[in-house]
Amino acid sequence: MRLPFLLLAATLCNTAFAAESREVYYQGFLVPQSIVPTFDKGYLLVYDFEKIDVYAPDGSPLYSVSAEVPNAKTANIQNAAADVDGTMAGAVYYARGRTRGGGIVLFDRFGKQTRFFDTGQYWPTQVCFAPDHTIWTLGWQGFEASREKDDYFILRNYSQDGQELGAFLPRSSFEPEPVPIGPKTGLWQLRIVNGRIGALFYGSSPLGPGQKSRPMQWVEVDLKGKVLGRWEVGAELSPEAFTQSGALYTHSRDAVLMFDRSTKAWRRVAGTPPGFLLGAQGDSLVFEVRGTSTLRWLPASQ
């Protein structure tokens, strides 16, 4: 029997979250591989070995999927995103013998794979649906690509039938080392809010021999690819929520922090519930409550 989802009102003491919160119980284990799930547009995407379990906004299970790539020996969904109707896109890395490549897989709201389109030597690592239902991606070409000789665009826009609609943020516009983007499973590094595309760089950079990590960078562009701003957000704290108002939030132990673009620093705005900040929905922050299968929505505090 399917359990009803829980919709609870609760207040947090000793924090700056003054308004009521709500909670939703999810009918499954949310961290089967100790990977933090991806929250997107009310849907929860849970990474479970070679498949992804998708949960509806009421906490009920929708479907489980894995990518089917023709003639591929391996095909891994490195990260995924949901559209408003429950369809899902996955950033895929595949191998056919010695040939490696990338692509995007699409599933309908019932979990049926509807399309896979190949992006060749551009390997998407993050995907996100825009309001017009096109797909934006972050990606890289591996260590073999030279910044100077093999420049390529990291941010791209595709139609759902696989047509490339635009390509932006050349690799050469970032530092030579390390690569600014790399594979990351769980959470997110790309979101679209109110006509602004926000992307996190140097938060998943694979390091080659002798390379050192560098401070993470948050970049925003408009829907035509024009750069609106670049901000270094530090090496320790990365954005975990991008709200409708355009604010960036993260959490650290006992505090919720907001990024102040004018001072380029994180400042404490509230205490934090016992859990992990997964993202935002509108202007509410969404937390995974530690030790449970429950998500909690709290109004963002500034």
CATH number for the domain that contains residue 94: 2.120.10.30
Domain edge (last residue) among 235, 250, 284 = 235
Domain edge (last residue) among 220, 235, 250 = 235
| Same domain flag for 200 and 261 | no
Residue type, 210: G
* Residue 138: exposure state from Cβ atoms within 10 A (0-12, 13-18, ≥19): buried
Q: Could you tell me the pTM of the whole model?
A: 0.91
Distance, CA of 70 to CA of 76 (rounded, Å): 13
For range 187-204, the mean pLDDT: 97
Distance, CA of 206 to CA of 201 (rounded, Å): 12
| Same domain flag for 22 and 122 | no
| Same domain flag for 16 and 124 | no
Least-confidence region, from 5-19, 49-63, 125-139: 5-19
| Same domain flag for 89 and 25 | no
Q: Which domain holds residue 302?
A: 1-30+239-302
Task: Give the model confidence (pLDDT) of 198-210 as tens digits.
Answer: 999 999 999 888 8
Distance, CA of 119 to CA of 174 (rounded, Å): 22
* Residue 122: exposure state from Cβ atoms within 10 A (0-12, 13-18, ≥19): buried
Task: Give the model confidence (pLDDT) of 251-263 as tens digits.
Answer: 998 899 999 999 9
| Same domain flag for 56 and 160 | yes
| Same domain flag for 205 and 254 | no
Domain edge (last residue) among 235, 252, 268 = 235
